[in-house]
Chain A
């Protein structure tokens, strides 16, 4: 089945450690995104990538890093520089807006999320 997978579902980290969250998609989507969600809040964009080997900062990129070496994969590293990393992290993907073709090329699909807790 096509979809987006994130692993692990729950992650615990000691303060001061870097940690990498995995995101894989087999939807052949060009664009991938990372969002952060805090309790009772909406989604805030961390990073996004429109094409392999290219990515752009979102609204809250400080303390995070990403890579896009393969179309299917967009891992997120939460570094020790992130002051308040405990949150629910969501990965998403979509076709490029310039991909054309039939609708639904404007839709964004989400993975199941990773809950990161810093101890």
Chain B
């Protein structure tokens, strides 16, 4: 299977702080997706990236598709308690989606 590395594995931050997480791979992808999963629920799509170098924002979230098409990062600015959850990167090639192991985010009020 594809080698996909997501880091960090977990983060504990104070409310109001910024967060950064990333995914890297040895393979090239056509699309990078970022999801958030709340406990006991299905993942919800946050941001989709379709072109190398693309930088996209969705409210306090910003994500970029790496120029080499092998990596992506997700930033969350001014974190709030409802940002708590597990964040997954999910690059796509063809009809196959690959998932990182997730970054567990805890926001301390």
Contacts and interface: CB of A to CB of B under 8 A. Distances in A.
A113 B90 CA distance: 18
Contacts of A108: 33, 45, 90, 92, 97
A107 B43 CA distance: 12
Contacts of A42: 6, 88, 99-102
Nearest to A41: B101
B44 interface: yes
Interface string A75-119: 000000000000010101010110000011011111111010000
A11 interface: no
Contacts of B82: none
- By size class, the interface of chain B is 20 to 34
A73 to B, nearest CB: 17
B62 interface: no
A111 B42 contact: yes
Interface string A38-74: 0001110100101000000001000000000000000
A21 interface: no
A88 B45 CA distance: 18
Given A41-B101, A106-B48, A115-B40, 13 more contacts: A4-B42, A35-B99, A42-B6, A42-B88, A42-B102, A45-B96, A48-B95, A97-B92, A97-B94, A103-B50, A106-B50, A112-B41, A112-B42
Q: For the complex of A and B, list the 5 residue pairs with the smallest distance between their C-beta atoms, beginning with the closest.
A: A110-B42, A106-B31, A43-B99, A42-B101, A42-B99
11 contacts: A35-B99, A41-B102, A42-B102, A45-B97, A88-B40, A92-B42, A97-B92, A103-B48, A103-B50, A112-B42, A113-B40
